[in-house]
Amino acid sequence: MTSGFGLQLNELDRLANQELPLLAEMMAEPIPALAALHDFGPTHNCPEASAVTRAHSAHLDLISSRQRQVCDAIDETASTLREIIALYRRADGQG
C-alpha cells in the first residue's frame, strides 16, 4: 500500500478474492478430522475411561467450534474488504 489515501486496490482485491478465501479453506480443512477423533470405541463400563472420552470429545468440540469461528471471521473480513474496494472504486470512478 502507498501512504495516505492511495490504495492499491488490485492488491486488496487479490487478498479479498484469493488469499483470504484460501486461508479460510485451509483453516476449515482439519474440522472434519477433529470430528473423526471422537470415537474411542467402547469404554467397557470404566468410569475413568468414560470421563476421559467425554472430556476429550468436549475439547474437540470446542476446538472445532473455534476453528469454524475463525473461518467465519476470515470470510466476513474478505466480504467487507470487497465492499470497501467497491466503494473506493465507485468514488474513484472505476466501477
Render pLDDT for 33-86 as a digit per residue (tens, 0 to 9). Answer: 988 877 667 767 888 888 888 888 899 999 999 999 999 999 999 999 999 999
Instruction: Give the residue with greater pLDDT, 32 vs 3.
Output: 32
Secondary structure percentages of the chain, helix, strand, coil, to 5: 75, 0, 25
How sure is the predictor about 95, in pLDDT bands with cuts at 50, 70 and 90? Answer: low
In angstroms, the CA 12 to CA 69 distance is: 23
Q: CB of 28 within 8 A of CB of 67?
A: yes
Task: Classify burial at 77, counting beta carbons within 10 Å of its beta carbon; exposed 0-12, middle 13-18, buried 19 or more.
Answer: middle
Task: Classify burial at 28, counting beta carbons within 10 Å of its beta carbon; exposed 0-12, middle 13-18, buried 19 or more.
Answer: middle
Residue 28 has pLDDT above 90, yes or no: yes
Residue 2 has pLDDT above 60, yes or no: no
Interior CA angle at 93 toward 87 and 95, to 5°? Answer: 60
Enter the pTM of the model: 0.78
